[in-house]
Amino acid sequence: MAQDQDVRQELLRRIPAVDQLLLRPGIEAWIQRTSRSFVVSEIQEVLQLLRTSMLSGAFPPDDHPDPALIESRLGARLQERLRPSLQPVVNATGVILHTNLGRAPLSVAAQQSLSAVSAQYTNLEYDLQAGTRSHRDQLIESALRDLLGCEAATAVNNNAAAVFLILETLAPGKEVVVSRGELIEIGGSFRIPEIMLRSGARLREVGTTNKTHLRDFEAAIGPDTAMILRVHPSNYRVHGFTARPSLQDLAGLAQRHQLPLVEDIGSGCLVDLHRCGIQGEPVAAESIAAGADIICFSADKLLGGPQAGIIAGRRRWIDMIRANPLIRTYRLEKLIYGALGATLASYRTGRAWQEIPVLRMLSLSRAEIRRRSARFLRRIAPELPREVHALLRDGTSVVGGGSCPDVGLATVLVALSSERRPAHEIEQRLRLQDPPIIVRLEEDNLLVDLRTVFPAQEKALLSGLLLALSTQ
Ligand SMILES: *Cc1c(COP(=O)(O)O)cnc(C)c1O
């Protein structure tokens, strides 16, 4: 026993000194990349962990004070430390607007704009013609006027903020009439009744869950009414014996009572999605044309841009919202104006279907995905270990982001399973790689849907899958 202790002490003594480790060229290189004080403190941590591991557990200790081993541990640790916490991932789930994965990936033009405006001064609030101060909304207002046919528009942090600001500006202490079929909850605790309460507006529910008529709205309007609110049930559908008034009819009613008709259209769809088999998504310009006085929507859902909430409609109301002191608390960052402007430009030039990734992914046909998946399978199959089975399988991709709950987009999946390793273990290995790869899991199969994988990511996907499926 006493002898074991002596040997243990001897091993501890052999742990190299920090100064000695700093002389190793590999560690010197880390100092060049970062700083001496950073590397020293990380070495101290690594040595402390080594000491603890050598003192605990069995004898002889499992661990060893070898300088080369310490250097490689330090390298792994520093690599991890330097990895940004927000990083790109490969989305192989087939969920196009995956909220946990950041919703819409941006177009090339939007990326270029981000990079151009991020490192330099910009005309964010500066009128270059007049040489005077301007309003940042002017950067996007004319595009939105063009695309939506509205008089004015402003942008805030997200659509939840847009709904809140509209209510807080136009209906404090007054009633807002909403159909019982539209009292929605969006993921992340955004609920119409609660938002309404916080805004100081009073909810006046009308109709029933499945049917609400124009006369229900009409009967609820009184001296305390401030607005009629229509909400798109983005993430659910009520089927069967249902009814709700048309937007035109609601607009007529609102006009007769000189009330604003507000529509939260949710996904910010600017184009007709029928060609992708998607029906019932309100198109922003159609809502304006049908007579909505104000509409609001997200910019990072079907619109395919950065996170923002757009409020558009009649100038009279938009000016009131702009004058609300709270708007400052939801103000957008200059980068977002850049990315949003570039995204809107793709719609204006008629190139949205080619340039906006969300639209491109939505419009990929089953045949196109089948071709890509077959090619991918041909490339990966010969390199897979014997115990791994890979085949093509029909499946569905979904829109996600709380949009189009009924829509399944026909796709072709690459299904992988291993006789040696449970699927959930492989799924975890994929998730912890660099870049992380996120797949679908179904029973003992990993499902890869190439619809949401950028062609430029296929190589990383292939090598990541091979690594995770390997026997080591
Ligand atoms: C998504 C959504 C919201 C919330 O929008 P965010 O941009 O996520 O804040 C509000 N209303 C509807 C109808 C939605 O679909």
At 207, the amino acid letter reads G
The answer to whether domain 108-355 has CATH 3.40.718.10 is no
Tokens of 392: 């093509």
Which of the two residues, 56 and 246, has the higher pLDDT score? Answer: 246
- Beta-sheet strands, E only, within 251-293: 261-266
pTM score of the predicted model:
0.93
Q: Does 103 contact ligand 1 (Cβ within 6 A)?
A: no
Mean pLDDT rounded to a whole number for the chain: 95
pLDDT at 2 (0 to 100): 63
DSSP letter at 241? S
For residue 1, pLDDT beyond 60: no
- Banded pLDDT at 11 (limits 50, 70, 90): confident
For residue 248, pLDDT beyond 80: yes
For residue 50, pLDDT beyond 70: yes
Cα 184 to Cα 369: distance, rounded to the nearest angstrom: 34
Per-residue pLDDT, averaged over 267-276, amounts to: 93
Q: Does 268 contact ligand 1 (Cβ within 6 A)?
A: no
**What percentage of the chain carries pLDDT values higher than 90?**
87
Closest residue to atom 5 of ligand 1, CA basis: 159
- Ligand 1, from 234, 294, 296, 330: best to mutate by most atoms within 8 Å of Cβ? 234
Span from the CA of 186 to the centroid of ligand 1 (angstroms): 6
Per-residue pLDDT, averaged over 22-26, amounts to: 96
Atom of ligand 1 minimally distant from the CA of 234 = 15
Atom of ligand 1 minimally distant from the CA of 403 = 15
147-156, 185-194, 340-349: which range is least confident on average? Answer: 185-194
Q: Does 158 contact ligand 1 (Cβ within 6 A)?
A: yes
pLDDT at 9 (0 to 100): 84
- Whether the Cβ atoms of residue 285 and residue 123 lie closer than 8 Å to each other: no
pLDDT at 187 (0 to 100): 77
Span from the CA of 5 to the centroid of ligand 1 (angstroms): 65
What SS3 state is found at 196? helix
pLDDT at 239 (0 to 100): 87
For residue 371, pLDDT beyond 60: yes
Q: For the segment 62-118, what is each residue's pLDDT rounded down to a tens digit?
A: 777 899 999 999 999 999 999 999 999 999 999 999 999 999 999 999 999 999 999
For residue 418, pLDDT beyond 70: yes
What SS3 state is found at 406? coil
pLDDT at 356 (0 to 100): 98
For residue 53, pLDDT beyond 90: no
Return all residues near 400 (Cβ < 8 A) that are at least 6 apart.
95, 96, 97, 98, 99
pLDDT at 336 (0 to 100): 98
Please tell me whether the peptide bond between 435 and the residue prior to it is cis, using omega within 30 degrees of 0. yes
Q: What is the largest CA-CA distance in the chain?
A: 97
Same fold, 90-98+361-469 and 108-355: no
Long-range pairs for 142-148 at CB < 8 Å and ≥24 separation? 143/341, 143/344, 143/345, 143/347, 143/348, 144/310, 144/312, 144/344, 146/348, 147/270, 147/284, 147/285, 147/344, 147/347, 147/348, 148/270, 148/284, 148/285, 148/288, 148/295, 148/312
pLDDT at 61 (0 to 100): 72
B/e letters for 420-448, b = 16+ CB within 10 Å, e = fewer, are ebebeebbebbeebeeebbbbeeeebbbb
Q: Does 234 contact ligand 1 (Cβ within 6 A)?
A: yes
Cα 221 to Cα 219: distance, rounded to the nearest angstrom: 6
At 349, the amino acid letter reads T
User: Going by DSSP bridges, is the β-strand pair 95-97/388-400 parallel, antiparallel, or unpaired?
Assistant: parallel
CATH of domain 90-98+361-469: 3.90.1150.110
In the chain, where the domains are located: 2-82, 90-98+361-469, 108-355
Span from the CA of 298 to the centroid of ligand 1 (angstroms): 6
Closest residue to atom 1 of ligand 1, CA basis: 266
287: alpha, beta or left, given left = phi > 0 and alpha = psi -120 to 50?
Answer: alpha
Q: For the segment 134-171, what is each residue's pLDDT rounded down to a tens digit?
A: 999 999 999 999 999 999 999 999 999 999 999 999 99
Q: Which candidate, 177, 228, 169, 231, places its Cα nearest to that of 202?
A: 177
For residue 457, pLDDT beyond 60: yes
DSSP letter at 303? T
